[in-house]
């Protein structure tokens, strides 16, 4: 299962551009099979932006949840992704056990 990190920005946002490369490198270090990166132009997807509660770009959502209303440091993003991946692994392990138990294994 893969997570999606979405960065919300506007065209010409210098703060967005300066931070984007470092944060994208963190995401890509996990591998595309685990975490994917998506850039969202808030002008093009305003309904989605409002739905998530993005107030000021740049912001970051993970799997459709606004996690960082302002840009985090690379370390903060990495810590959050590691925490979520561990939670997914734990949930997956419990699901595998439950499926085996239901089938009498």
Q: Is the pLDDT of residue 76 over 90?
A: yes
- Domain assignment of residue 25, given as a range: 3-102
Question: Where would I find the H helices in 31-73?
Answer: 46-52
Classify 62 as helix, strand or coil.
strand
Question: Quick one: pLDDT at residue 13?
Answer: 83
The whole model's pTM is what? 0.82
Tokens of 72: 């985090």
Looking at residue 19, which CATH number applies to its domain? 3.40.30.10
Q: Using N-to-C axis directions, what is the helix angle for 14-29 and 74-102, rounded to 10°?
A: 40
Q: Which of 14-18, 42-46, 54-58 has the highest mean pLDDT?
A: 42-46
The Cα–Cα gap between 15 and 90 comes to: 36
Q: How many domains does the chain have?
A: 1
Question: Quick one: pLDDT at residue 17?
Answer: 80
Q: Which long-range contacts (CB under 8 A, 24 or more apart) does 20-26 make?
A: 20/58, 22/74, 23/60, 23/71, 23/72, 23/74, 23/77, 25/74, 26/74, 26/77, 26/78, 26/81
């Amino acid at each position: 299962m893969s997570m999606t990190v979405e960065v919300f920005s506007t065209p010409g946002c210098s703060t967005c551009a300066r931070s984007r490369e470092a944060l994208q490198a963190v995401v890509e270090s996990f591998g595309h099979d685990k975490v994917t990166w998506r850039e969202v132009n808030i002008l093009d997807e305003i309904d989605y932006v409002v739905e998530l509660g993005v107030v000021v770009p740049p912001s970051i959502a993970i799997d459709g949840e606004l996690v960082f209303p302002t840009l985090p440091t690379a370390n903060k993003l990495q810590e959050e992704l590691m925490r979520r991946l561990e939670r997914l692994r734990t949930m997956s392990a419990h699901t595998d056990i439950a499926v085996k138990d239901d089938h009498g294994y």
